Amino acid sequence: MALKRRESNLPTRFAIPMAPMIDVTFLLLMFFMCNLRVSTSEADFRQNLPVGGPKPVLNDDVVLPEIKVGLKSDRDGRLISITIGSKDLGNDDAAFDQLSDEVLTVVRRLGNPLRKDVEVEIDADFETEYRHVMKAVSKCTGRLDPQTKQVARYIEKIKFAPPHKPKE
Amino acid sequence: MKTPKVSTSTFEPDMTPIIDVVFQLVAFFMIALSFENTEADERVRLPKDMIARPPEVRPEYELILNVGYRRTATGRKLDTNPYVFHNNATVDVRDLGPILVQERRNFESTNRSEVRTTDRVTVIIRADDDLPTGVVQEVVRHCQQVGFSRFSLRAADVAE
């Protein structure tokens, strides 16, 4: 008996409706494009101590030097001078570099075990632009090796002196 | 006379390559989009620094305070008064206390640990590089009065 081939009712080719999917995809694309913010990455300077807070009690036998960094400015916030202790370093980029050298000298003198206990106090005028203070914090914290791009940190504790009153 | 046969089939452009490209773009923007920094306010121009590094361990609780000036789209200052931009509100630095108290309550309501809430919160200060330092110290003082004791000063990470 000859078998009769049955005609299939199914269409030979499926056409999946792509239009809704493309619509949604374009909407997603628009959403992500609109929400994209080109921004630089951010990083923190951690402060271990409350600003202007009490000093921690250390072993009586160990007398750590106080590193006091002063930032003096005029009424408009322009930097007049950077001081470390009683030494005036100036107010330009070289002064900040010298500040870094001075701090490193003190830290080297103390040696490794005490290094982490050394504290830098930053005493800035009320008007001093915040960028100068942050630069000073950065210079006291460590330095970047230009070849390896690695950060060598030598100070972990930074604190602010109690705030000054604004200049009249 | 025979009439020429007119093709009735519709013209369908091949959409596959364009869909491929669009998916690639979607994937790119999904990866590039960061939701982490949603509390950062674009009006604040952070001081730039090369030493600051992103924290290795993220704080348990963090309170981000944006301190800066109201600026136009071009970056020009609208006035010389500094403000704290917090949760879509622009607050005078002197009026920060009640907001911090509310934030402390919010943290306390989620704290299930025995450790004091304010000891678990790190206040991240994103301050404009033009600000007088005294203003930043005033913000810190307000935070201390409410009980917060951990602070972190944020800078823009720039490579030389």
Mean of pLDDT values over A108-126: 77
pLDDT one-digit tens code per residue, A15-37? 777 788 888 888 988 888 887 76
A119-124 and A67-73 beta bridge pairing: parallel
Closest-CA residue of B relative to A162 is B137
pTM of this structure: 0.73
Query: Residues 39-98, chain B: which have Cβ within 8 Å of A?
Result: 40, 42, 46-47, 49-55
pLDDT one-digit tens code per residue, B99-138? 999 988 888 888 777 677 777 888 889 999 889 999 999 9
pLDDT score at A58: 46
pLDDT score at A56: 47
pLDDT band at A70 (very low <50, low <70, confident <90, very high): very high
Lowest-confidence segment of A74-78, A115-119, B91-95 by average pLDDT: A115-119
Report helix angle B96-110 to B133-146, nearest 10.
50
B113-130 per-residue burial string, b: 16 or more CB within 10 A, e: under 16 = eeeebbeebbbbbbbbbb
Number of CB pairs, chain A paired with chain B, less than 8 A apart: 160
B48-49 and B89-92 beta bridge pairing: unpaired
Tell me whether residues B128 and A130 touch, CB distance under 8 A: yes
Q: Which is nearest to A130 in space by CA: B48, B31, B83, B84?
A: B48
Q: Hey, is the C-beta of B27 within 8 angstroms of any chain A C-beta?
A: no
Tell me whether residues A146 and B160 touch, CB distance under 8 A: yes
Q: Within 10 A of A55 (CB to CB), how many other CB atoms are there?
A: 11
Query: Residues 123-152, chain B: which have Cβ within 8 Å of A?
Result: 124, 126-138, 140-141, 144, 149-152
Report helix angle A130-141 to B133-146, nearest 10.
80
> Is residue B80 within 8 Å of residue B69, measured between CB atoms?
yes
Asked whether residue A148 carries a pLDDT value surpassing 70, the answer given is yes
ipTM, interface predicted TM-score of the complex: 0.75
B137, B140, B143, best to mutate vs chain A, most A CBs in 10 Å? B137
Gap between the Cα atoms of B79 and B99, Å rounded: 23
pLDDT score at B17: 85
Mean of pLDDT values over B8-16: 72
Phi, psi torsion values for B98, nearest 5 degrees = -60, -35
- Measured between beta carbons, the chain A residues lying within 8 angstroms of B40 are 39, 42
Asked whether residue A51 carries a pLDDT value surpassing 60, the answer given is no
Q: Higher confidence at residue A68 or residue B88?
A: A68
Asked whether residue B141 carries a pLDDT value surpassing 80, the answer given is yes
Closest-CA residue of B relative to A146 is B160
Q: Hey, is the C-beta of B113 within 8 angstroms of any chain A C-beta?
A: no
Tell me whether residues A127 and B30 touch, CB distance under 8 A: no
Q: Hey, is the C-beta of A164 within 8 angstroms of any chain B C-beta?
A: yes
Q: Hey, is the C-beta of A32 within 8 angstroms of any chain B C-beta?
A: yes
Asked whether residue A62 carries a pLDDT value surpassing 60, the answer given is no
Q: A161 exposed, middle or buried (CB, 10 Å; 0-12, 13-18, 19+)?
A: middle
Q: Hey, is the C-beta of B106 within 8 angstroms of any chain A C-beta?
A: no
Mean of pLDDT values over B82-96: 88
pLDDT score at B67: 92
Q: A69 exposed, middle or buried (CB, 10 Å; 0-12, 13-18, 19+)?
A: buried
pLDDT one-digit tens code per residue, B27-79? 888 887 766 556 677 788 888 887 777 777 777 888 889 999 988 878 888 88
